[in-house]
Each structure stands twice: as structure tokens, then as C-alpha cells.
């Protein structure tokens, strides 16, 4: 194997799968919820946004639904 490679001869291109991986959204979340996930992130060593994404994926996979009753 060569010690060095000349990368200037290669053409760069965008990852064709990058847009399919995740979509950036703006979401309004209470500060205490963010702090909760940030605390969990410190414990696990994982970014808090990844934890939120994993939690939402789990909710989707398990078909979790909120049980809400509105006061009349």
C-alpha cells in the first residue's frame, strides 16, 4: 500500500443518499424537554438530537399514540 495518495486526480461528487438519510426540520420544544435529552446525552455519550431521533423512531416502530383527554 502506498504511503501517500494523490487525491487531486479524483473528482468529488455529492453523496446521492445524503438527502434520504435525514431531513432537517424546525421544531418548537419546551426548554425542560431539551434539558432532559441533554442530560441523557451526557450519560450515554450520544448527541441529544440523535437521542430525540431514536426516541421518535421507537415511537413510530411501536405505533405509540398519545392518550389525551381535553377538559371541557
pLDDT in tens, 32-71: 999 999 999 999 999 999 999 999 999 999 999 988 888 8
CA dist., res. 48 & res. 34, Å (int): 8
User: Residues 3-15: what's their mean pLDDT?
Assistant: 83
**Does residue 51 sit within a domain?**
yes
**Does residue 38 sit within a domain?**
yes
Total number of domains constituting the chain = 1
**Does residue 70 sit within a domain?**
no
- Residue 72 vs residue 40, higher pLDDT: 40
Cβ burial, residue 36 (10 Å; 0-12/13-18/19+)? middle
Cβ burial, residue 40 (10 Å; 0-12/13-18/19+)? middle
Q: What is the pLDDT of residue 1?
A: 64
Confidence of residue 7 (pLDDT cuts 50, 70, 90): confident
Instruction: Please give the residue range of the domain that contains residue 46.
Output: 29-63
**Does residue 37 sit within a domain?**
yes
Q: Enter the pTM of the model.
A: 0.66
CA dist., res. 4 & res. 36, Å (int): 46
**Does residue 47 sit within a domain?**
yes
CB within 8 Å of 44: residues ≥ 6 apart: 51
**Does residue 13 sit within a domain?**
no
**Does residue 52 sit within a domain?**
yes
Amino acid at each position: 500500500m502506498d504511503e501517500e495518495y494523490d487525491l487531486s486526480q479524483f473528482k468529488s461528487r455529492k453523496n446521492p443518499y445524503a438527502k434520504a438519510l435525514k431531513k432537517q426540520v424546525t421544531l418548537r420544544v419546551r426548554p425542560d424537554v431539551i434539558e432532559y435529552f441533554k442530560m441523557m446525552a451526557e450519560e450515554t455519550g450520544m448527541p441529544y438530537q440523535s437521542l430525540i431521533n431514536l426516541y421518535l423512531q421507537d415511537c413510530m416502530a411501536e405505533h405509540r399514540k398519545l392518550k389525551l383527554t381535553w377538559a371541557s
